[in-house]
């Protein structure tokens, strides 16, 4: 019996078999499995001990990140015998992957309805969601909300002293905006004064 441990660690501890399988998969080229794959993997590995999807997810994330990190760190000490020529496609980011270039990034994000260009905020009524967490925890630092309790927030909450410029946008339907393209570039965040537009890849 091992499941009855009182002081059971909250941390997942993979078994040898699980690690073997995970590494095998990794060596096959699997680096960021889809949710679907993750589930299957977890199910599979569940035969060797408890495991959840998140464990698989984290495992791959960490494994990949660490391999890359280690590769980057151990750079400059060994003579690159079979170094990969810098002219190897690359030109992307720090993608010094050693896996076969079987990558196809043909993603077509721009979907009708996906607000990619968020620039101006229209005064939309509001898009309340199933946020069941609408439980005011009695903020003591900020002025509490008026009295709205049962009423679904028809406003983001005026509790924080915002100027109540009720401007909530619904991410449905494109907000649309006829902003001049003089600035060029700039999409999405171009409105926010924060976050750099594009640091410069």
Interacting residues with its own copies between 122 and 161 (CB under 8 A): 122-125, 127-137, 139, 141-142, 144-145, 149, 151-153, 155-157, 159-161
Q: Which residue number, 112 or 181, has a Cβ lying nearer to its own copies?
A: 112
Q: How far is the CB of 59 from DNA (least distance, A)?
A: 5
Residues 12-31 that bind its own copies (CB under 8 A): 12-13, 15-17, 20-21, 23-31
Of 19, 45, 65, nearest to 53 by C-alpha is: 45
Distance of CA 172 to the CA centre of its chain: 21
The verdict on 126 binding DNA (CB under 7 A) reads: yes
The continuous run of DSSP H or E covering 21 comes out as helix 16-28
Among 96, 70, 69, 65, residue whose Cα is nearest residue 83:
96
- Taking each helix axis from N to C end, the angle separating 16-28 and 53-73, rounded to the nearest 10 degrees, works out to 60
Question: Residues 150 to 169: which contact DNA by CB under 7 A?
Answer: none
Q: Which of 43, 58, 88, 170 binds DNA (CB under 7 A)?
A: 58
The contacts of residue 102 (CB under 8 Å, 6+ apart) are 29
Touching DNA, residues 76-115 (CB under 7 A): 93-94, 96-97, 107, 109, 114-115
Residues in the interface with DNA (CB under 7 A) total 47
Here the tokens at position 153 are: 């927030």
Give dist(CA 46, CA 31) in Å, integer: 20
Q: Which residues contact DNA by CB under 7 A?
A: 9, 11-14, 19, 31-32, 54-55, 58-59, 61-66, 68-69, 93-94, 96-97, 107, 109, 114-115, 121, 124, 126, 128, 130-131, 171, 188-192, 195-201
């Amino acid at each position: 019996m091992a499941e009855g441990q009182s002081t059971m660690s909250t941390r997942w501890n993979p078994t040898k078999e699980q690690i073997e399988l995970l590494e095998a998969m990794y060596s096959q080229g699997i680096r960021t499995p889809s949710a679907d794959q993750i589930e299957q993997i977890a199910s599979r590995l569940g035969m060797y001990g408890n495991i959840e999807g998140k464990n698989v997810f984290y495992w791959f994330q960490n494994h990949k990140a660490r391999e890359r990190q280690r590769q980057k760190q151990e750079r400059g000490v060994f003579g690159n015998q079979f170094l990969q020529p810098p002219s190897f496609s690359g030109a992307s980011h720090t993608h010094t992957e050693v896996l076969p270039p079987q990558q196809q990034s043909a993603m077509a994000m721009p979907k009708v309805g996906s607000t990619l260009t968020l620039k101006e905020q229209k005064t939309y009524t509001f898009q309340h969601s199933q946020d069941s967490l609408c439980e005011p925890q009695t903020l003591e630092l900020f002025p509490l909300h008026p009295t709205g309790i049962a009423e679904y927030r028809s406003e983001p909450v005026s509790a924080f002293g915002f100027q109540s410029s009720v401007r909530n946008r619904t991410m449905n339907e494109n907000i649309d905006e006829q902003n001049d393209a003089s600035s060029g570039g700039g999409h999405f965040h171009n409105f926010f004064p924060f976050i750099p537009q594009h640091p410069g890849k």
